[in-house]
Amino acid sequence: MTKQLTAFEDTVLRSAVLTLASPEWRDKLLEQLDKSTITDRSEDAFGYYVDFDVPAELRIPELVGTDRTITLIGEFGATQAQPDLQVFVAYVRDGGLHFLEASSTLEWPYDVVLDPGLGSYASSVADGSSTGEST
């Protein structure tokens, strides 16, 4: 049985992938999101994790043999009285989506519905180049 992404996970990952400068990488990673298998979900005192298995034929050939990260930082679900910052890091290993790591400065906001149009976020890739900012 294939585990499905939650709406929250799907929105976070798509938001991160859509910030990439390369349209080819964006398209291939979005296809991976639709066709990969979630192999594990876990949580510890430091964060929340979702692991993926991506079929070899969906991997991005020019990224095979490399590790990349896409970081999305935002204040989703925060209130003025209780500011909160969430950090999401999507790891791409050997051209395939490897896992998503999420952490929060407060208790994890299980009930939050991520809408990038309602929060502010900034994204960067592993080499440190900024890919955009939205509010």
- pLDDT of 5: 83
- Secondary structure (DSSP) of 52-68: EE--GGGS-GGGTT-EE
Residue 91 structural domain: 7-134
> Is residue 51 one of the residues assigned to a domain?
yes
CA angle 7, 28, 134 (to 5 degrees): 55
Lookup result for tokens 């970081």: 71
Task: Output the average pLDDT for the chain.
Answer: 76
CA distance 106 to 2: 31
> Is residue 79 one of the residues assigned to a domain?
yes
Find the range with the poorest average confidence among 5-19, 47-61, 107-121: 107-121
How many domains does the structure of the chain reveal?
1
- pLDDT of 59: 95
- pLDDT of 6: 82
Residue among 57, 31, 47, 41 nearest 85 (CA): 47
- pLDDT of 75: 63
Displacement of CA 25 from its chain's centroid (Å): 14
CA distance 123 to 62: 22
- Asked if pLDDT for residue 131 goes beyond 70, the answer is no
CA distance 71 to 87: 7
- pLDDT of 128: 34
> Is residue 1 one of the residues assigned to a domain?
no
- pLDDT of 83: 62
- pLDDT of 87: 83
Q: What is the pLDDT of residues 65-97, one digit of tens each?
A: 999 988 887 765 556 666 667 788 899 999 999
> Is residue 11 one of the residues assigned to a domain?
yes
What does pTM read for this prediction?
Answer: 0.73
> Is residue 28 one of the residues assigned to a domain?
yes
Q: What is the pLDDT of residues 28-42, one digit of tens each?
A: 999 999 999 899 988
> Is residue 2 one of the residues assigned to a domain?
no
Q: Pick the residue with more confidence: 132 or 3?
A: 3
